[in-house]
Amino acid sequence: MEKAALLRSISCSTLACNRFLFRSSNRLSRSSASFSSSVSRSHHRSFGTLTRRSVLRRHWRLLPASSIPSTRCFSSLAPKAIATSPEQASPDFVSTEDDFAEKYGFEKVSEQFIQECKSKAVLYKHKKTGAEVMSVSNDDENKVFGVVFRTPPKDSTGIPHILEHSVLCGSRKYPLKEPFVELLKGSLHTFLNAFTYPDRTCYPVASTNTKDFYNLVDVYLDAVFFPKCVEDFQTFQQEGWHYELNNPSEDISYKGVVFNEMKGVYSQPDNILGRTAQQALFPDNTYGVDSGGDPNVIPKLTFEEFKEFHQKYYHPGNARIWFYGDDDPNERLRILSEYLDLFDTSPASRESRVEPQKLFSKPVRIVEKYPAGEGGDLKKKHMVCLNWVLSDKPLDLETELALGFLDHLMLGTPASPLRKILLESGLGEAIVGGGMEDDLLQPQFSIGLKGVSDDDIPKVEELVMTTLKSLAEEGFDSEAVEASMNTIEFSLRENNTGSFPRGLSLMLRSIGKWIYDMDPFEPLKYEKPLMDLKARIAEEGSKAVFSPLIEKYILNNPHRVTVEMQPDPEKASRDEAAEREILKKVKAGMTEEDLAELARATQELRLKQETPDPPEALKSVPGLSLLDIPKEPIHVPTEIGVINDVKVLQHNLFTNDVLYTEIVFDMSSLKQDLLPLVPLFCKQSALLVQLLAIIAQGQNLNHCYSHHLQLILPKLNLNFTFLYCFVGSIVLVNFLIVGSQSLMEMGTKELDFVQLNQLIGRKTGGISVYPFTSSVRGKEDPCRHIIVRGKAMAGHAGDLFNLVNCILQEVQFTDQQRFKQFVSQSKARMESRLRGSGHGIAAARMDAKLNTAGWIAEQMGGVSYLEFLQALEKKVDQDWIGISSSLEEIRKSLLSRKGCLINMTSEGKNLTNSEKYVSKFLDLLPSSSPVEKTTWNARFSSENEAIVVPTQVNYVGKATNIYDTGYQLKGSAYVISKYISNTWLWDRVRVSGGAYGGFCDFDTYSGVFSFLSYRDPNLLKTLDIYDGTGDFLRQLEMDDDTLTKAIIGTIGDVDSYQLPDAKGYSSLLRYLLGVTEEERRKRREEILSTSLKDFKEFADVIEAAKHKGVVVAVASQDDVDAANKEHPNFFQVKKAL
C-alpha cells in the first residue's frame, strides 16, 4: 500500500529533465526499501544515477545542516533583512510578524520574495541557541517541515546512520517503541522519512492536512531533541548491532537493522565502486569514511560513543529548520519556541564544520575486488572509473551553473558525446560514475565503464581523457546547446517533482548552500543566473564558456583518482568465513555464564521487540478522527470524446501551460515470442528515474540511507510490480515501464539519433515509450498496452505530436552495433538489479507463477529477461537480419488507430487547441492492425524457487492468489494489508528479524497477495513469519483508536498528493482497468467502515498463502543450501549470476 505514490510521480520527462529536477543526494534513509536506501557515494552510481542528478547541481543538493554560532552574524553572502514586495506584505503586517518573532525569541535575518516559486521566504535566528529557521509562505497545500543537523563522522562505525534510525524509536512525549511507525499507520502524511548523508542527517515530513502536519512536526521535534534511544541500550542493539545467541550451544551471529542494511549495500559492485572512489578522493576529511557504516566496522561502535554523538550534534545550534506551505508562519515560530527555548548555546556548529580536502599534487590509482558470480567470462567483468575533486574552495554561482550545463551536454542524453563515445567504443557494457556531483562541500566529476575486459582498462582511461580533450578543443554544436538549455529551462519552470513535495525539493536545494554557512536563498532563485548564462553563451559562444571549464577542472586537475574494480568469485564466501571466524573467537572468549547471559539478553530483546506498546502509550501519539476525512474520493475532471474514431480523454486542470499527453496502443496482437524484445524496442529508463524521485526528491540514493525503507521498498520493484492508486486505493499492477531506446536511439532516414534527441530536447519536455500490463479483475485476458508519454509547452503541441509520430513510424532498426550496445547495457542493468532489488525480482517471479499478466511482465523484466539478454547478446552477431525483422514486426503489430486511446491533461483552451494536432497524428496511423489478436495464456510452474546470487543478504517472497479461495474484494483489504505490513511484518521481519524491510502487497486486479522482505539475514525464519500472519489476525485485539488510525493511514495512501499530470495519468489507468467512479466511492466507503471483524475474517483468506503459496527467494548459495538441508528439496535452484 505504501506504493501509492509510485504511479503518481511517473512523468514522461526525458533523462535530461530528470537529471535536472531530481538532484543527487548522498543520503541514507530509514525506510525499509528508493528508491532505495543506500550506500556511500556509490549507491546507484551506474548511469541510472546520471539520469537522476540535477544539471544545476548546486540548486538541488541534499546536504546536512550546520548552524552558525550565536556569536556570529549570518554569512556575508546573505543580504540584510529585506522587505518583500508591497503585494506580499504591508508594513503593518511586517511589523506584526516581527512582533511575533520577537515574542517567541527569534530575530529576522533576511526576508525575500522568491518569484520562481511565488513564495515569501524569511530567515530567522533563534536568539538563545543560534538555531536558524527558514519560513517559506505560499499557497501550496502540501506543507513541509524539516530539521537538518550537520553530523560528520570520524570513522565507519555508522553512528549517524544508526542514530537516524534510533531517534525515531520513542521520545520524551511519545514513549512508544516507534512513534514513527504509528505515524505511518495513522496519518495523512505525503512524506515521512529520514536520511543520513556523509555529513548531515535530515528529518522531513509533509502533509496537506494542517492538523496532521503539526502532529507530525511535534513528533519529529521531540524525537530529535529528546529521544529515548540515548538511554535505551536495546534500541541501539536493535537498530545498530548486537550479538545474537538463541541457545548457548549454537553459533553467535550479528544482528541489527543497519548492520544488515549495509551488508546489502556492500554486496553491490556499483556501491563498492562509489564508496571506494569517495574515500580515495577525500582521504583527509569526513568523506573519507562511510557515514552509513561498514559492516566490518559497525560492531566496533559502543553505546557510549553513540550517546556522545547525539549529545554533541543534535542541538538547536547545529540545526537548520525549514517550514514551507500555506500554514500560519507565526504558528511555526510558536511551535519551535517550545522546544528551542529549553536549550542554551552550544559549540556544535563550530565543531561540526566540514574541512575541505586539499587537492592532490598527482593522480592516485586504486584497485579493489568485488564479489562476483562464477558464471560468465570474469575477464570481461572489470569496472573502471575516473574521479576528480574539482576545487578546494566554494565555486561562484556562474561557475557552478556552467558546470551543471556542461555535465548535461557531456552526459545528459543518449546523444551526449562523452556518453555516446564511451558506449559506442565497445570497451564496456554500461556507464558508471555520477558525472558532475556537487552535493558535498566540494564538487566532483566521475565517469567510467563496467563490463570491461581486463586488457581494456587502460583503453577506457585513455578514451575518457582523449574525449574530454577533444570536447575542450572542439566544443559543442549549437543544436546540442539549444536542446540542453530548453530541457533545463522546461524542467525548472514545470517544477514537476512527482509525488515528492515541492517544498521538500526546495528545502534540499536551499540546504545545499545553507549547510555550509552560505546564502540559503540563492539556490531558490534560478531566473537571473539562467538568463545571464544564456546571454553569455549568445555573446561569447558556448566554446568560450565550456572549454575552459573542462581544461581547468578536469584535464589540468591532478586531483584524480582512478578506481579499478576486479571481479572475485571467492570474495563473498571469504567475507562470510571471516565474519564466522570473528564470531567464533568471540564465543571462545566467553564463559558458560557469559553465554547464558547472552542467550538471556537475546530473548529479552526479542520479547521487548515483539511485545505491543501499552494502550496509554499509543494514545500519546496525536492523530486525526474520521470526521477529518472527506467522504468522497478525489475528483479528476474527465471528458471522453472521439477524434477520427479514436477515444480521447481530456482533463481540464491547471498545468501552467504545459500539455501532458499519453497515447495508448493495444499490445494484444503481438506474438508471444516477441515479448522479451519489447523492452529493447522501448527500453527501461523513465521509471528508474521517476521512481528514485519519489524516494527522495529526485534524490539519487548516492550517499544516502533512508530511515524508512518500508515506504520505499514497494516502489523498488523496478522490473514489474507497481502500484496504481485507483479508488484511491492502491493495487498491485504488473507494470513495466521502460524509456524508449530503439525507438529514440536509432534515428530515421532524415535524422540520426543525435539529431532526433536534440530535436526532442529543443521542442518538448520529454517523450518516453513503455509497456503496461496488468490483470483485470473479473477477466481472463490481461490489460496489455504500449504507452507513449510526452509533454511540451502548449505552444509546442504540434511539435510534440509530430515528434511522437516520427519516433513511432520513421525510426529505422538498422544499426546492428548500436542495438548490441542496448543489449549489453540492459544486461548489465539487470545483473545489478538482481543484487540490489532482489525483492522486485522475487515478486515478478511469483506473479509469473500465478497469473498471465505476471508472466508477461517477467518476460520483460525478470530473470527470464536476463536469460534472454544473455542469449541475445550472442545472437545479434549471428542473426541481425532476423532481430531487425522482429523489431519491425513489433512496430507493425502495435501501430494502429484500432484500439488506440489518447489522454490529455492541461487547461481547457490548450486541450481545445491541441485537438487539431491529435487529428493529424491519428490520420497518419494505419487504420487497422495487419496482425490478428493473439492469446497469451502462460505462467511458470508453482515450485518454490531460489535464485542464487553473490550476496550477504536475502530477499524472501511468498505469494498466493486469494481470489482462488473465493474471496470477494472489499475495501477493508487495503486497511488490513497495510496494517499487516506496519505491525506484524515490521515487528517480526525488521525489528526482531533484523531485515531492512518486510511488507505485503495485495494486487486487487489479479488477486495475488504477496509477502516480501528486503536485505534480510534470514530465509526460512522469514517464511515462518509469513505463515504466522493468519494467527496474528485471529488473535488481534484492536481498540477504536487503533482501528481509526489504520483507516486514516489507508485513506492517506488513497488520497496521496498528486500534481495535475499525475491526476490525469491516474484517471487514464482507471479507465484502462475498468475502475468506475461508482466503484471508487464503494471502496472508499468500505475502507471507512472497516471493522475488527473484517480483520478476523481475512485471517482465513490469508491462510491460503501458508498452505498453497509459492516461494521465491533471491539469496546466497550458503543460505539456500542450508534451507534445502533443513527441508530437503524445498527450493529448485537457479543460478542467475
Tens of pLDDT, residue by residue over 751-780, are: 988 999 999 999 999 999 999 999 999 898
Whose cell is 542527517? That residue is 201
Res 6 pLDDT > 50: no
For 187-199, what is the mean pLDDT?
Answer: 95
Res 280 pLDDT > 90: yes
Angstrom distances, CA of residue 654 to CA of 581, 909, 1063, 1129: 63, 11, 11, 59
* Cell, residue 997: 524491510
Res 730 pLDDT > 90: no
Query: Distance (Å, rounded) from C-alpha 454 to C-alpha 157?
Result: 33
Q: Are 252 and 602 in contact (CB under 8 A)?
A: no
Task: Indicate the pLDDT class of residue 98, thresholds 50, 70 and 90.
Answer: confident
Comparison of pLDDT for 286 and 936, the residue scoring more: 286
Q: Which of 10-14, 202-206, 950-954 shows the lowest mean pLDDT across its residues?
A: 10-14
Q: Are 729 and 974 in contact (CB under 8 A)?
A: yes
Res 37 pLDDT > 50: no
855-895 pLDDT tens trace: 999 999 999 999 999 999 999 999 999 999 999 999 999 99
Q: CB neighbours (10 Å) of residue 355?
A: 10
pLDDT at residue 377 in the model: 82
Q: Are 565 and 382 in contact (CB under 8 A)?
A: yes
* Cell, residue 70: 550565536
Query: Distance (Å, rounded) from C-alpha 277 to C-alpha 273?
Result: 6
Angstrom distances, CA of residue 868 to CA of 490, 567, 636: 38, 23, 41
Q: Are 894 and 862 in contact (CB under 8 A)?
A: no
pLDDT at residue 1137 in the model: 82
**Which residues lie below 8 Å from residue 466, measured CB to CB, with a gap of 6+?**
none
Angstrom distances, CA of residue 105 to CA of 99, 187, 322, 838: 10, 31, 17, 51
Burial zone of 302 (CB within 10 Å; 0-12 exposed, 13-18 middle, 19+ buried) = exposed
Q: CB neighbours (10 Å) of residue 671?
A: 14
pLDDT at residue 683 in the model: 64
Compute φ and ψ for 832, nearest 5 degrees: -65, -40
Res 896 pLDDT > 80: yes
Provide the Cα torsion 34, 136, 120, 133; round to 10°. -130
The model's pTM is: 0.87
* Cell, residue 450: 563496467
Alpha helices per DSSP H over 837-904:
838-850, 852-859, 863-878, 880-894
Query: Distance (Å, rounded) from C-alpha 278 to C-alpha 294?
Result: 14
Query: Distance (Å, rounded) from C-alpha 491 to C-alpha 690?
Result: 13
For 598-608, what is the mean pLDDT?
Answer: 96
Task: Indicate the pLDDT class of residue 742, thresholds 50, 70 and 90.
Answer: low
pLDDT at residue 684 in the model: 37
1085-1108 pLDDT tens trace: 999 999 999 999 999 999 988 999
* Cell, residue 413: 542524453
Task: Indicate the pLDDT class of residue 642, thresholds 50, 70 and 90.
Answer: very high
Whose cell is 502536519? That residue is 213
Angle at the Cα of 256 from the Cα atoms of 251 and 262, rounded to 5 degrees? 110
Angle at the Cα of 860 from the Cα atoms of 941 and 1075, rounded to 5 degrees? 85
Query: Distance (Å, rounded) from C-alpha 723 to C-alpha 397?
Result: 40
Res 147 pLDDT > 70: yes
pLDDT at residue 414 in the model: 87
Comparison of pLDDT for 978 and 50, the residue scoring more: 978
pLDDT at residue 847 in the model: 96
For 712-726, what is the mean pLDDT?
Answer: 31
Give the HSE-up count for residue 308: Cα atoms under 13 Å, Cβ half-sphere: 7
pLDDT at residue 58 in the model: 25
pLDDT above 90 covers what percent of the chain?
Answer: 76
Q: Give the number of residues written for the chain.
A: 1137
Angstrom distances, CA of residue 767 to CA of 791, 922, 1044: 7, 17, 43
* Cell, residue 152: 560528520
452-472 pLDDT tens trace: 999 999 999 999 999 999 999
**Which residues lie below 8 Å from residue 535, measured CB to CB, with a gap of 6+?**
none
Task: Indicate the pLDDT class of residue 517, thresholds 50, 70 and 90.
Answer: very high
Res 386 pLDDT > 90: yes
Indicate the SS3 state at residue 240. Answer: coil
For 715-719, what is the mean pLDDT?
Answer: 30
Res 686 pLDDT > 50: no
Whose cell is 574552495? That residue is 393
Strands of 60-216, DSSP E: 106-114, 119-126, 132-137, 143-150, 189-192, 195-196, 200-207
Known catalytic residues are 164, 239
Res 705 pLDDT > 90: no
Res 343 pLDDT > 60: yes
Burial zone of 507 (CB within 10 Å; 0-12 exposed, 13-18 middle, 19+ buried) = buried
Q: Which of 97-106, 723-732, 931-940 shows the lowest mean pLDDT across its residues?
A: 723-732
Query: Distance (Å, rounded) from C-alpha 124 to C-alpha 734?
Result: 48
Across 104-138, b (16+ Cβ under 10 Å) vs e yields bbbebbbbbbbebbebbbbbbbbbbbbbbbbbbbb
For 637-647, what is the mean pLDDT?
Answer: 96
Whose cell is 566496533? That residue is 300
323-340 pLDDT tens trace: 999 999 999 999 999 999
Angstrom distances, CA of residue 205 to CA of 195, 213, 354, 679: 12, 8, 26, 36
Angstrom distances, CA of residue 751 to CA of 420, 494, 806, 812: 16, 28, 10, 10
- Mean model confidence pLDDT for the chain: 86
Residue of 521, 537, 526 whose CA lies nearest to 493: 526
Res 43 pLDDT > 70: no
Task: Indicate the pLDDT class of residue 732, thresholds 50, 70 and 90.
Answer: very low
Query: Distance (Å, rounded) from C-alpha 131 to C-alpha 149?
Result: 10
